Amino acid sequence: MPQTTPPHDWTEDNLQSLQSHILAEEQAHPEATGDFSWILSAIALATKTIANKVRRARIDDVLGELGETNTHGESQQKLDVIANDIIKACLGARANIGVLVSEEDEEPMVLRTHAEGGRYAVLFDPLDGSSNIDFSVGVGTIFSILRLEDGHAAKGVDAILHDGAQQVAAGYVLFGSSTVFVLTTGNGVDMFVLDQSIGAFVLVKSKLRIPEANSTYSINEANTKQFPQGYRNYLDWAHDSNYTSRYIGSMVADVHRTLLKGGVFLYPPTDAHPKGKLRLMYEANPMSMIIEEAGGRAISDRGRVLDIKPDSLHQRSVVIMGSPEEVAHVERFLDS
């Protein structure tokens, strides 16, 4: 009698796009108003467009520096401005977004008051790690979503200066060997990959968990002599403990590797950046929410990153994030 295989359970194993996944999540939450899918679909559209620009950068001759600096005096890459404009064009059209905050713009953009439907602020780094694009190294878009209260337009920046624990959603899109969309809405972490043949982000992993431990650290060791002693003691311990070092110099790529393989990513205080280099509101906070939702930890030299009450929109922070056991190893040397 030929062995008959049991019928495939198609209710379990089906093709889910980012859109259908978000709608399914919304159906699971009756109180959801469809706001999220509307915002996330705009971010998906923007990042698909940016992915195409990044992939064609050398062909379209948009590599390299623009020859101008952003509001922080940092040299702007041509693609920084292109990505920033794409995101604003896609998000600005979504009627429930009240405020946009970009690393490339000093002031927040108030699109709508609460009375006009502006319920959310979207904060983003349009193209993090863009100086690596000329060498085809992974770069990414990082975003954070905060809910806005009535009267936000009158309060201006103060309406947005919430601690990271107030984020309602966060994520990043890594433009690497594949285009990967990693998202959390506070109910675990889901990962999607852009399937160019159908033009959609398809779900490849839901409820992603970071490994508890992995003897890998990710830090710019060229700055070692500038680090406070505790970090140098940690590095000595890691070297004596046969740790591996992996550092790409693009936060999205370094954190994505840490999320999938485990380990710890650190950007300690340096002479150039005594409070850390990475931006709290649209780099450290969204990445910390992702790492914590995946079972990891994210701290700074002031405790949990998501508990930091921001003083200004573009403030920087020290970050130490990754596997819980690896963050604990670093913490031990900082506390000693």
Amino acid code (one letter) for 195: D
Interaction of residue 220 with ligand P6P, rule CB under 6 A: yes
Interaction of residue 52 with ligand P6P, rule CB under 6 A: no
Whole-number minimum distance, CB 319 to ligand P6P, in Å?
A: 9
Closer residue to ligand P6P, CB minimum distance, 133 or 306 = 133
Site string for ligand P6P, 260-289 (x = CB under 6 A): -----------------x------------
Whole-number minimum distance, CB 278 to ligand P6P, in Å?
A: 6
Interaction of residue 249 with ligand P6P, rule CB under 6 A: yes
99 closest CA partner among 41, 157, 168: 157
Interaction of residue 293 with ligand P6P, rule CB under 6 A: no
Interaction of residue 113 with ligand P6P, rule CB under 6 A: no
Closer residue to ligand P6P, CB minimum distance, 128 or 326 = 128
Closer residue to ligand P6P, CB minimum distance, 256 or 277 = 277
**280 contacts 317 by C-beta, under 8 angstroms:** yes
Site string for ligand P6P, 172-211 (x = CB under 6 A): ----------------------------------------
Question: Within positions 120 to 179, which residues make up the interface with ligand P6P, using CB under 6 A?
Answer: 128-129, 131
**277 contacts 228 by C-beta, under 8 angstroms:** no
Which residues of this protein are in contact with ligand P6P, per CB under 6 A? 128-129, 131, 220, 249-251, 254, 277
